[in-house]
Amino acid sequence: NAGVTQTPKFRVLKTGQSMTLLCAQDMNHEYMYWYRQDPGMGLRLIHYSVGEGTTAKGEVPDGYNVSRLKKQNFLLGLESAAPSQTSVYFCASSYSVQHTEAFFGQGTRLTVV
């Protein structure tokens, strides 16, 4: 099993450009999440999904959009990148929200210049 796979692993964007980060999981998990990690800030939840076709806002959703058209994929979009979105992005998935562990991807390091 591959677990949770994120693509790309690294990306440099210019301010105003757009991009999509892809997260794929092969564990048939219902729940998927996007977090960002900044130095000294821990992990902050951007958006999450509790099932195919559903999405919800997390703690820091502004400037991001998401889609969950297929159960195994969770896409994070930046429509107009800003330097404040320079961060490491982690996708995670879990069987349930309350009762089981989350599995994480290896992260995407995004730099916006």
Q: Give the span between the Cα atoms of 93 and 84, in whole angstroms.
A: 25
Assigned token pair, 91:
């996708």
Span of 19-27, 34-42, 69-77, 79-87 interacting with other proteins by CB under 8 A = 34-42
CB of 54 closer than 8 Å to CB of 67 = no
Closer residue to other proteins, CB minimum distance, 41 or 82: 41
Closer residue to other proteins, CB minimum distance, 18 or 111: 111
67-106 positions binding other proteins, by CB under 8 A = 90, 92, 94, 97-106
Q: Give the span between the Cα atoms of 107 and 89, in whole angstroms.
A: 5
| Minimum distance from residue 76 beta carbon to other proteins (Å) | 15
CB of 83 closer than 8 Å to CB of 112 = yes
Task: Check binding of 31 to other proteins (CB under 8 A).
Answer: yes
DSSP helix/strand/coil, 91: strand
- Interface positions with other proteins (CB under 8 A): 4, 31, 33, 35, 40-45, 48, 50, 56, 58-59, 90, 92, 94, 97-107
